[in-house]
Chain A
Amino acid sequence: MPTTAGSGANRPSRTELLHKLQRELEAPDLAVFGDTCRVGRYGAFVGSVIESHSQLPRAMDYARSHIAELALKGRSAASGTVILADRLSQGKGRFTRSWHAPPGGLWGCMIFADTLLPRWRGLMPLATGVSCCQAVREHCGVEAVIRWVNDVLVEGKKLAGFLVEGYREPILGEEYALIGFGINVNNGEFIGELENSAVSLAELCGGPVDLAGLTTTFLAKLACNFGILLAEEEFFLREGRFSGVAGRHLLLQRWLALSDSVGKRIVYGFDVVTAPQYQAEVVGIDEYGGLQLRHGDGTLTTEYSGEIRYL
């Protein structure tokens, strides 16, 4: 696979990342854990290794090759390894959609050794969207919102997209989740289907944004929110409920505070762009992050995959 080492100019330092994570643990909503160190301890794996490349075809493919190469040597990839690329030459979204990833954006993926219990794995994509939305708001002061599952939008335009892909390494059989992220930062030109539907932070802020700083903030938020996922799982197994208000999962509380999906009229589809299925109203999300919908005849359903567009 053709790769080239990046300059590292945009690569955050591990020390800086851990300092940022420490500050994340001061968030008031984490007080419910009493000992917030648990969240920090659980989340500190993010960025255990940070690789920077000037160009990759796809960060997810690179991650899979990296895991497989290590497995051939009888070794495992470090959970939390972050792979960054200045540019992706074959970036893609879901299904057959393209994702334009020229220099200036924050492109990459994180390797997560998937130790979450299966029923909570669906919250990983939500944690990723929450982390981006928080990072953009804090670093740039931009009022970003989340559209279920984890699209980050500003003024109705897509600022960032995420894709989580499972990967079972074939030699040792270890299971990983590859958390792919694409955030439009200083890249300003969008082509094809993205021309009228995407936006960059530089466009919103009226000038270039500190990419390295944003990367550090995003990874620190990711560390904190993955820390919450793991700490909440432990909390649930011990207490039989989550730590948030009325026993709700803290990550879902964060998601709800950042999302504008609830209350919206939407069109739903497994692939909503090519095959929209029906219209409904979003009434909430359930404990697994499923989207609760009210139909025209008053019946309620919950969707656990697929995507929505606002009407």
Chain B
Amino acid sequence: MASELALEEIFSRYKADPFDYVDVHSVHTGRVTFKAALGQEVVAPSGEWLQVPGTPLYEIDRERNPRLVGSQVNGIVAAVETQLDGCFVEAGVKLMTIKHPLKKKEIIENILKDVLFLFPAPETAKYFFAMDIQSRIDKKGARAVSVEPGDEVLTMSLMKRDTPIYYTGERGVIYSVYFKPGVSVPQGEPLFGVCAPEKLPLIQKIITRVKAEWDSEH
């Protein structure tokens, strides 16, 4: 459980620097050409279904198949690994960093991610809650639904292949849900955050304090 001291440190950090620094990595192997420059403002995908791609960041060419990769967040390009421009890179190599200004809601979510047990996506896929969990959420809301290890909690859907996902983590209530049905979640990203019953007062304290202290600023 995060201590009072650790929380103070977290609050101070966000007060001093209310930004996220989002690293952008190569999506696969290939030759990289940068499309965004240091200091450039970039925007996230937009449109009703996020069908309008974000600002182009780099192009990666594998076997004469060029792929343009766009920004997933709003912000400013804060660092570019310019020495890699035109070079062949392996998958997962850091190419640039985007400085993303955090909104109050994002600050709360970020702090909560330090406190909650985060259940990650096992594969890049679309997810929906298991029928039993969903009906309990519909009736009482997610924060009234508790889960424990071994519970069938989600269904992972990929190319009409549905795989039940069993919960592995600490027992508690589903406090935050980070996915939307029908929206793809990258592998390793959190799907939901679980709060152990004894941590609930701490969570409430975090939310109250962020709302109070960041009200005038964001």
20 pairs across A/B with beta carbons < 8 Å? A121-B158, A121-B159, A122-B158, A122-B159, A123-B159, A125-B160, A125-B161, A126-B159, A164-B161, A165-B164, A166-B162, A166-B164, A168-B166, A269-B182, A270-B182, A275-B182, A290-B159, A295-B49, A301-B51, A305-B159
B159 contacts which chain A residues (CB < 8 A)? 121-126, 149, 288-290, 304-305
**Given A278-B48, A299-B53, A306 contacting B162 (CB threshold 8 A):** no
Q: Provide the bound-state CA to CA distance between A124 and B159, in Å.
A: 9
CA separation between A113 and B157, bound complex, in Å?
19
- Chain B's closest residue to A164 (CB) is B161
Q: Report the stretch among B5-13, B79-87, B90-98, B123-131 that lies at the interface.
A: B123-131
| Number of A residues with CB within 8 Å of any CB on chain B | 39
Q: Are A305 and B131 in contact (CB under 8 A)?
A: no
Q: Is A277 an interface residue (CB 8 A)?
A: yes
B residues near A218, Cβ cutoff 8 Å: none
Question: Mask for B25-53, Cβ within 8 A of A = 1, else 0?
Answer: 00000000000000000000001110111
B130-170 interface mask toward A, CB cutoff 8 Å, 1 = contact, 0 = none?
01000000000000000000000000111111111010000
Contact A94 B162 (CB under 8 A): yes
Question: Taking the complex as formed, is A7 at the interface, i.e. its CB lies under 8 A from any CB of chain B?
Answer: no
- Contact string against B for A residues 247-282, beta-carbon threshold 8 Å, 1 for contact and 0 otherwise: 100000000000000000000011100010110000
Residues of A109-129 at the interface with B, using a CB-CB cut-off of 8 Å, are 118, 121-126
Q: Which residues of A, 23-60, contact B by the 8 Å Cβ criterion?
A: none
B110 within 8 A of A: no
Q: Which residues of A contact B (CB under 8 A)?
A: 94, 96, 118, 121-126, 149-150, 162-168, 177, 240-241, 247, 269-271, 275, 277-278, 288-290, 295, 297, 299, 301, 304-307
Asked if A166 contacts B161 (CB within 8 A), the reply is yes
What is B's interface to A at a CB cutoff of 8 Å? 47-49, 51-53, 63, 123-126, 128, 131, 156-164, 166, 181-182, 184
Which chain B positions have C-beta within 8 A of A270? 126, 128, 157, 181-182
A305–B125 CB distance below 8 A: yes
In the A-B complex, the 8 residue pairs with the closest CB atoms: A166-B163, A270-B182, A122-B159, A164-B161, A149-B160, A125-B160, A305-B157, A305-B126
In angstroms, Cα B126 to Cα A7, docked, is 41
Which residues on A sit within 8 Å (CB–CB) of B162? 94, 163-166
Given contacts A164-B161, A269-B182, A304-B158, 18 further A-B contacts (CB under 8 A): A94-B160, A125-B161, A126-B159, A149-B160, A166-B163, A168-B166, A270-B182, A271-B181, A278-B51, A289-B159, A299-B52, A301-B49, A301-B51, A304-B159, A305-B125, A305-B184, A306-B126, A306-B182
Most A Cβ at <10 Å: residue of B128, B131, B160, B181: B160
Closest Cβ neighbor of B162 among chain A residues:
A165
Shortest Cβ distance from A23 into chain B, in angstroms? Answer: 29
Taking a contact as CB atoms under 8 Å apart, the answer to whether B160 and A162 are in contact is yes
> What distance in Å separates the Cβ of A61 from its nearest Cβ neighbour in chain B?
12
For A164, what are the chain B residues with a Cβ–Cβ distance below 8 Å?
160-162
> Chain B residues near A126 (CB, 8 Å)?
159
- Chain B residue nearest to A124 in the complex (CB): B161
